[in-house]
C-alpha cells in the first residue's frame, strides 16, 4: 500500500496558492484514476483507490502546512506503514516553474511541511518536488508561495498536473526515472521540423508544366 500525500493549506482562500500545488496534484490523480470520494480521516481528507493494481491512499492533511506531520503520522501509525511507503507531493521554490524532481529520503531543505513530517515519521519517505519558481529574493519567499498562481501560469500548471496524473502509476511502482522522463516529455514535446521538399518531385513537376 502507498500513502500519497499532497501538501497545502485548507480553505478556499488558499486553493490556487503556489503552496497548494501538492493538493492540486493529488486532486488531479484522484479524478484521473477514479478514486473513491475524499472522506475525513486523521485530521485530513482521505481517498481510496489503486494504481496499476497497487492500493493507494490519497491524503490531504487539513492541519495547515506547518503541522502536516501530525496528520501524516496519524495515518502512518494507523496503517502501520514504513516511511518508504509514503510519497509526499509538495511545492519547490528551488526548481523552475513546471520542473519536477523525485527524491527518496534526505533532508527537508527548509520546507515547513516536510520539516513537520520529518518530526513525526523520520526522513525515509519519498517526495515529488513540484517546481513553482523562486521570487529572486529570499525575503519574498513567503509571500511568493502564499500568492495565487498568475493567469500566465495557468497553462503550464494544468499541463503539469495532467502529466503527473497520467504517469503517476510509474511513480507508485518505483520507476522514478521513467516517470520523470515522461513528465518532462509531456511538458516539452519535441518540435516537428517541416518535411523537406523532395527536389526531384519538384523538378519533375516543372518539366511536366513545360510539356516535356
Give pLDDT, residue 68. 97
What's the domain count of the chain?
1
- How far apart are the C-alpha atoms of 76 and 86, rounded to whole Å? 8
Q: Hey, what's the cell of 75?
A: 495515518
Contact 107, 78 (CB under 8 A): no
How many other C-beta atoms can be found within 10 angstroms of the C-beta atom of residue 188? 10
- How far apart are the C-alpha atoms of 37 and 53, rounded to whole Å? 19
Contact 71, 78 (CB under 8 A): no
**What DSSP designation does 14 have?**
G
pLDDT surpasses 90 at 29:
yes
Give pLDDT, residue 200. 56
Task: Give the active site residues.
Answer: 19
Lowest mean pLDDT among 33-42, 114-123, 202-211: 202-211
pLDDT surpasses 70 at 208:
no
Give pLDDT, residue 193. 65
Kindly report the length of the chain.
212
| Residue 103's CATH number | 3.40.50.1470
SS3 117: helix
- How far apart are the C-alpha atoms of 209 and 26, rounded to whole Å? 62
- Listing DSSP states for 127-158 in one string gives EEEEE----SSGGGHHHHHTSBPPGGGHHHHH
Residue 21: give the domain boundaries: 2-209
pLDDT surpasses 50 at 211:
no
- How far apart are the C-alpha atoms of 63 and 83, rounded to whole Å? 20
Contact 168, 179 (CB under 8 A): yes
The mean pLDDT of 9-35, rounded to a whole number, is 97
What rounded mean pLDDT belongs to the chain? 92
| Angle ∠(10,101,26) on CA atoms, nearest 5 | 30
pLDDT surpasses 70 at 48:
yes
pLDDT tens digits for range 161-205: 999 999 999 999 999 999 999 999 999 988 876 666 655 555 545
Nearest to 106 by CA among 91, 95, 97, 117: 117
**What DSSP designation does 191 have?**
P
Give pLDDT, residue 154. 95
The mean pLDDT of 70-80, rounded to a whole number, is 98
The mean pLDDT of 32-57, rounded to a whole number, is 96
Amino acid at each position: 500500500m502507498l500513502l500519497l500525500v499532497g501538501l497545502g493549506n485548507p480553505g478556499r482562500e488558499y486553493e490556487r496558492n503556489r503552496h497548494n500545488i501538492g493538493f492540486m496534484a493529488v486532486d488531479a490523480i484522484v479524478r484521473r484514476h477514479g478514486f473513491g470520494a475524499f472522506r475525513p480521516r486523521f485530521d485530513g481528507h482521505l481517498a481510496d483507490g489503486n494504481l496499476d493494481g497497487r492500493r493507494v491512499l490519497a491524503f490531504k492533511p487539513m492541519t495547515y502546512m506547518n503541522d502536516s506531520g501530525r496528520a501524516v503520522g496519524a495515518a502512518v501509525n494507523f496503517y502501520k506503514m514504513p516511511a518508504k511507503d509514503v510519497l509526499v507531493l509538495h511545492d519547490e521554490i528551488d526548481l523552475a516553474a513546471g520542473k519536477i524532481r523525485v527524491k527518496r529520503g534526505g533532508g527537508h531543505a527548509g520546507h515547513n511541511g516536510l520539516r513537520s513530517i520529518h518530526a513525526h515519521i523520520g526522513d525515509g519517505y519519498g517526495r515529488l518536488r513540484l517546481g513553482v519558481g523562486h521570487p529572486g529574493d529570499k525575503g519574498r519567499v513567503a509571500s511568493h508561495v502564499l500568492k495565487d498562481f498568475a493567469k500566465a501560469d495557468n497553462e503550464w500548471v494544468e499541463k503539469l498536473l495532467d502529466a503527473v496524473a497520467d504517469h503517476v502509476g510509474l511513480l507508485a511502482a518505483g520507476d522514478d526515472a521513467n516517470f520523470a522522463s515522461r513528465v518532462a516529455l509531456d511538458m516539452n514535446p519535441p518540435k516537428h521540423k517541416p518535411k523537406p521538399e523532395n527536389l526531384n518531385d519538384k523538378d519533375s513537376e516543372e518539366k511536366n508544366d513545360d510539356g516535356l
